Amino acid sequence: MIRVVLVDDQPLVREGLRALLDRAEDITVVGAAADASAGVALVRRERPDVVLMDIRMPGGDGIEATRRIVADPGLRHVHVVVLTTFDTDEHLLDAVRAGAAGFLLKDTSPDDLRAAVRVVAGGDALLSPAVTRRVMRAAAAGPAPRAADRLAALTPREREVLAEVGTGRSNAEIAERLVISTATARTHVGRLLAKLGARDRAQLVVLAYETGLVSAGQS
């Protein structure tokens, strides 16, 4: 059973999300909070698998709440999905940099919402091709200082894999393009996470663009 916590300041949104998620036999909502501070406290108490986090709320924004959850060593297994009506590059990039494993708009369909929870609970990042392109543009527009230095520890093959991850490709797609097995692609991604100190695949996408390994025009 996938355990979910909801953090949103609108009661109607919280109850709507709860109703949609509770329809799934493998998902249960274990709690909901109306502001960021209460949300962090609830996550620390319930230790869910997935948090659906609004961005703009009283008591601190969802980006900062995400950052606090990700920074807590006792919550390493918790995956945050930022759920918002805002889809600007600034919000998206900030969410990923804060440690969010995914980003969904509030007009996402019920089936896609439930599927997203399952994907993130399984340890994968939730970045659709369209969202990945927005991350690309935002990251490429403002590269992090000395970001390229982080590539020094990578082998040529790991750089190739990172570039493929940066374009939003799955392990199976990477395996096909590089003529390797899916298991080998998965191993390379795991090594990239460890070497680059990235929490998940979403942060690898940002790094691929901040380091200039991938450009916004690539696909």
Tens digit of each residue's pLDDT (9 = 90 or more) over 55-103: 888 767 899 999 999 999 999 899 999 887 766 666 777 888 888 888 8
Q: Rounded mean pLDDT of 176-180?
A: 95
Q: Rounded mean pLDDT of 152-170?
A: 90
Q: CA-to-CA distance for 201 and 199, rounded, in angstroms?
A: 7
Which pLDDT score is estimated for 134?
A: 67
* Polymer length in residues for the chain: 219
Q: How confident is the model at residue 136 (pLDDT cuts 50, 70, 90)?
A: low
Q: Are 209 and 135 in contact (CB under 8 A)?
A: yes
Tokens at 187, concatenated: 């191993």
Does the pLDDT value for residue 161 go beyond 60? yes
Q: CA-to-CA distance for 69 and 155, rounded, in angstroms?
A: 32
Tokens at 76, concatenated: 């390493």
Does the pLDDT value for residue 132 go beyond 90? no
Task: Tell me the average pLDDT of the chain.
Answer: 85
Q: Based on DSSP, count helices (H) and strands (E) in the chain, helices before strands.
A: 10, 5
